[in-house]
Structure 1
Amino acid sequence: MEYVTAVPHPRTEAAAPARSGRRSLAVALLCGALGAAVALLASRQRWAEGTATVAGGAFPLTVKGSDVTGVPAALAIVGLAALVAVFAVRRSGRLLVSALLALSGAGTIAAAVSGASDSGSLDSKAAQVSG
């Protein structure tokens, strides 16, 4: 006959790596979601401003990030889809999805940096205003 005790049985060391793996996955998913949200919000903000001189005087102009380039917002949506795909795949699939997520993040940063110094959208908006 077995006896009952209030002392818990000793845990095996295999439970610690599984918990650590889930924690790192949760942190990675949270960081990916925050990065995609920041990219989407930044594409809706004002990126450039200027003035156009027309017959009535100076006319203030502003362009949003989505007017400058649509690439960061599109890649942020790809990143969100990759975050959802992490739950659908296992092992080597997760590696492939994480590579896609890293590439979309790098592409978002590259497009935002190159679009920040681009004045073409501001010039085209000035051309529309001046006729």
Structure 2
Amino acid sequence: MEYVTAVPHPRSEAAAPPRSGRRSLAAALLFGALGAAVALLSTRQRWAEGTATVAGGNFPLTATGSDVTGVPAALAVVGLAALVAVFAVRRTGRFAVAALLTLSGAGIVAAALAGVADGSALDEKAAATTGDTSATVQALSHTAWPYAAAAGGV
């Protein structure tokens, strides 16, 4: 006769249950999609504003994120494509896709933070508005949208 007991046999804790892997993958996909969407949507918003001096007085100018730099929007699309690619690959491929997604996020952060200090897009608009190639924008200010794009990249 076999040994019978009411106490369950001890289990090895070495192998994690497969559900935890699926949950972490789902959380990574969710946060990756949200971050890419925030970065992509923030590039469509107003990042900088200022005024150009014309013959009739001051003329207000604005620049969107895509006017300042197109890099965050492009890298957000790459990030979304990488998130879709997660379903097509296994194991080592997922590490490669995760590396691509990480590099895309780092590029979004770098480009968005570099766009905070960049006033060249408004200077180009001021030159086109006034007809003077040496015209620059005065009273340059930035909104919070470049920081939102950087947060989406994170």
Q: Which of the five TM-score ranges fits, normalised by the shorter chain?
A: 0.7 to 0.9
Point out where structure 1 has 5 or more consecutive residues left out of the alignment: 1-11
Q: How does 1:85-104 map to 2 (within 5 A)?
A: 85-104=85-104
In structure 2, list runs of 5 or more residues that go unmatched.
1-11, 132-154
Corresponding residue SS for 1:88: coil
Match of 1:38 in 2: 38
Hey, what does 2:72 align to over in structure 1?
A: 72
Residue type of the alignment partner of 2:93: G
Q: Which residue of 2 aligns with 1:27?
A: 27
1:13 to partner: Cα distance = 7.3
Q: Which has the higher helix share?
A: 1
- Superposition TM-score, scaled by structure 1 size: 0.88
Q: Deviation at 1:54?
A: 0.3
Q: Number of residue pairs matched? A: 121
**Matching residue of 1:57:** 57
Task: List structure 1 runs of 4+ shifted beyond 4 angstroms.
Answer: 12-16
Higher relative contact order (CA 8 A, sep 6+): 2
Sequence identity of aligned pairs in percent? 77
C-alpha distance in structure 1 between counterparts of 2:40 and 2:84, whole Å = 17
Provide the secondary structure at the position in 2 that maps to 1:95. Answer: helix
